[in-house]
Amino acid sequence: MFTDPLGDCSPGDKRIYASILVLVASADGELVREEFCAIEALMGRILIHPEARIDIRNLMNDPPDLEELLITIDSSLIKFVLRDAALVAAVDGDYDAAELKLIKRLATAAGVKDNTLKEIFDWVNSGLAWHHQSLDILGL
Protein backbone atom coordinates (compact mmCIF):
# COMPACT_ATOMS: atom_id res chain seq x y z
CA MET A 1 0.00 0.00 0.00
CA PHE A 2 2.61 2.46 1.07
CA THR A 3 6.14 3.12 0.02
CA ASP A 4 8.91 1.10 1.59
CA PRO A 5 12.65 0.36 1.35
CA LEU A 6 12.14 -1.97 -1.60
CA GLY A 7 12.01 1.12 -3.78
CA ASP A 8 15.74 1.58 -3.21
CA CYS A 9 16.67 -1.88 -4.50
CA SER A 10 18.57 -2.45 -7.73
CA PRO A 11 16.51 -3.07 -10.88
CA GLY A 12 17.67 -6.69 -10.79
CA ASP A 13 16.46 -7.24 -7.24
CA LYS A 14 13.14 -5.56 -8.04
CA ARG A 15 12.72 -7.96 -10.92
CA ILE A 16 13.41 -10.99 -8.74
CA TYR A 17 11.00 -9.68 -6.08
CA ALA A 18 8.23 -9.19 -8.65
CA SER A 19 8.96 -12.52 -10.34
CA ILE A 20 8.44 -14.40 -7.08
CA LEU A 21 5.16 -12.59 -6.52
CA VAL A 22 4.03 -13.57 -10.01
CA LEU A 23 4.88 -17.14 -9.14
CA VAL A 24 2.79 -16.98 -5.97
CA ALA A 25 -0.14 -15.31 -7.74
CA SER A 26 -0.20 -17.91 -10.50
CA ALA A 27 0.47 -20.87 -8.19
CA ASP A 28 -3.13 -22.04 -8.11
CA GLY A 29 -3.24 -22.23 -11.90
CA GLU A 30 -5.39 -19.19 -12.47
CA LEU A 31 -4.61 -15.54 -12.15
CA VAL A 32 -7.71 -13.63 -11.06
CA ARG A 33 -8.16 -9.93 -11.68
CA GLU A 34 -7.53 -9.08 -8.01
CA GLU A 35 -4.16 -10.84 -8.12
CA PHE A 36 -3.29 -9.08 -11.34
CA CYS A 37 -4.15 -5.73 -9.66
CA ALA A 38 -1.97 -6.59 -6.67
CA ILE A 39 1.03 -7.46 -8.86
CA GLU A 40 0.59 -4.28 -10.90
CA ALA A 41 0.25 -2.19 -7.73
CA LEU A 42 3.34 -3.73 -6.16
CA MET A 43 5.37 -3.15 -9.32
CA GLY A 44 4.18 0.45 -9.33
CA ARG A 45 4.92 0.95 -5.66
CA ILE A 46 8.59 0.10 -6.05
CA LEU A 47 8.77 2.08 -9.29
CA ILE A 48 9.79 -0.72 -11.59
CA HIS A 49 10.50 0.77 -15.00
CA PRO A 50 7.46 0.49 -17.30
CA GLU A 51 9.42 -1.52 -19.89
CA ALA A 52 10.69 -3.95 -17.26
CA ARG A 53 7.08 -4.51 -16.20
CA ILE A 54 6.33 -5.93 -19.65
CA ASP A 55 8.86 -8.74 -19.10
CA ILE A 56 7.47 -9.41 -15.65
CA ARG A 57 3.88 -9.59 -16.97
CA ASN A 58 5.05 -12.15 -19.50
CA LEU A 59 6.18 -14.37 -16.63
CA MET A 60 2.52 -14.89 -15.78
CA ASN A 61 2.29 -17.16 -18.82
CA ASP A 62 5.69 -18.73 -18.27
CA PRO A 63 6.33 -18.73 -14.51
CA PRO A 64 9.97 -18.80 -13.38
CA ASP A 65 11.57 -21.43 -11.14
CA LEU A 66 11.44 -20.45 -7.47
CA GLU A 67 14.65 -22.24 -6.49
CA GLU A 68 16.62 -20.41 -9.16
CA LEU A 69 15.21 -17.09 -7.95
CA LEU A 70 16.04 -17.91 -4.35
CA ILE A 71 19.67 -18.56 -5.28
CA THR A 72 20.01 -15.10 -6.82
CA ILE A 73 17.94 -13.02 -4.42
CA ASP A 74 19.62 -10.68 -1.95
CA SER A 75 19.09 -12.35 1.45
CA SER A 76 17.86 -9.09 3.00
CA LEU A 77 14.99 -9.05 0.51
CA ILE A 78 13.49 -12.42 1.31
CA LYS A 79 11.49 -11.19 4.28
CA PHE A 80 9.89 -8.47 2.15
CA VAL A 81 9.08 -11.03 -0.51
CA LEU A 82 7.53 -13.26 2.13
CA ARG A 83 5.41 -10.40 3.48
CA ASP A 84 4.14 -9.39 0.04
CA ALA A 85 3.64 -12.98 -1.07
CA ALA A 86 1.27 -13.39 1.87
CA LEU A 87 -0.55 -10.24 0.72
CA VAL A 88 -0.80 -11.28 -2.92
CA ALA A 89 -2.03 -14.75 -2.03
CA ALA A 90 -4.76 -13.30 0.20
CA VAL A 91 -6.30 -10.87 -2.26
CA ASP A 92 -8.58 -13.41 -3.93
CA GLY A 93 -10.17 -14.31 -0.61
CA ASP A 94 -8.26 -17.34 0.62
CA TYR A 95 -4.93 -19.12 0.65
CA ASP A 96 -4.82 -21.91 -1.90
CA ALA A 97 -2.75 -25.02 -1.04
CA ALA A 98 -0.27 -24.33 -3.85
CA GLU A 99 0.12 -20.72 -2.68
CA LEU A 100 0.68 -21.87 0.89
CA LYS A 101 3.33 -24.32 -0.24
CA LEU A 102 5.27 -21.52 -1.95
CA ILE A 103 4.84 -19.20 1.02
CA LYS A 104 6.16 -21.88 3.36
CA ARG A 105 9.15 -22.38 1.08
CA LEU A 106 9.81 -18.63 1.24
CA ALA A 107 9.44 -18.73 5.02
CA THR A 108 12.04 -21.49 5.20
CA ALA A 109 14.39 -19.51 2.99
CA ALA A 110 13.90 -16.49 5.25
CA GLY A 111 14.41 -18.57 8.39
CA VAL A 112 10.87 -17.84 9.56
CA LYS A 113 9.16 -20.32 11.85
CA ASP A 114 5.48 -21.31 11.74
CA ASN A 115 4.42 -19.10 14.65
CA THR A 116 5.99 -16.03 13.00
CA LEU A 117 4.41 -16.94 9.70
CA LYS A 118 1.08 -16.96 11.48
CA GLU A 119 1.83 -13.44 12.71
CA ILE A 120 2.44 -12.38 9.11
CA PHE A 121 -0.92 -13.88 8.07
CA ASP A 122 -2.58 -12.08 10.98
CA TRP A 123 -0.92 -8.84 9.86
CA VAL A 124 -2.32 -9.36 6.35
CA ASN A 125 -5.80 -9.94 7.75
CA SER A 126 -5.65 -6.77 9.80
CA GLY A 127 -4.62 -4.88 6.65
CA LEU A 128 -7.55 -6.29 4.72
CA ALA A 129 -9.91 -5.20 7.50
CA TRP A 130 -8.34 -1.76 7.64
CA HIS A 131 -8.66 -1.27 3.90
CA HIS A 132 -12.28 -2.37 3.88
CA GLN A 133 -13.15 0.33 6.43
CA SER A 134 -12.51 2.96 3.77
CA LEU A 135 -15.50 1.74 1.78
CA ASP A 136 -17.73 2.30 4.83
CA ILE A 137 -16.39 5.83 5.23
CA LEU A 138 -17.06 6.50 1.55
CA GLY A 139 -20.52 4.95 1.67
CA LEU A 140 -19.61 2.40 -1.02
Partner 1 sequence: MLPDIIHKLPRDERFAYARLLAYMTRVDNELSVSEMAMFEQRLGNALLSPKQREMLRLSLKNPPTLESCLEGMGEEAGRLALRDSVLMAAADGIVDEDEREILEEIAAHFGLVDDAVERLLKWTIEGYNWMDSGYELLNGLSE
Q: Under the rule (CB under 8 A), what is the footprint of partner 1?
A: 1-4, 7, 33-34, 36-47, 50, 53-54, 79-80, 83-84, 87-88, 91-92, 110-112, 116, 119-120, 123, 126-128, 130-131, 133-135, 137-140
Residue 61's contacts (CB-CB under 8 Å, 6 or more residues apart) are none
Residue with Cβ nearer partner 1 (101 or 131) = 131
Q: 101 or 113: whose CB is closer to partner 1?
A: 113
Cβ of residue 87: shortest distance to partner 1, in angstroms? 6
Least separation in angstroms between CB 25 and partner 1: 11
Q: How far is the CB of 70 from partner 1 (least distance, A)?
A: 16
Minimum gap (Å) between residue 68 Cβ and partner 1: 23
Q: Which C-beta is closer to partner 1: that of 37 or that of 101?
A: 37
CA angle, 24 then 113 then 3, to 5° = 55
Long-range contacts of 81-85 (CB under 8 A, 24+ apart): 81/17, 81/20, 81/21, 81/106, 81/110, 82/106, 82/107, 82/110, 82/112, 82/120, 83/120, 83/123, 84/17, 84/21, 84/42, 85/20, 85/21, 85/24
Helix (H) or strand (E) holding 111: none
Q: Which is nearer to partner 1, 11 or 37 (CB)?
A: 37
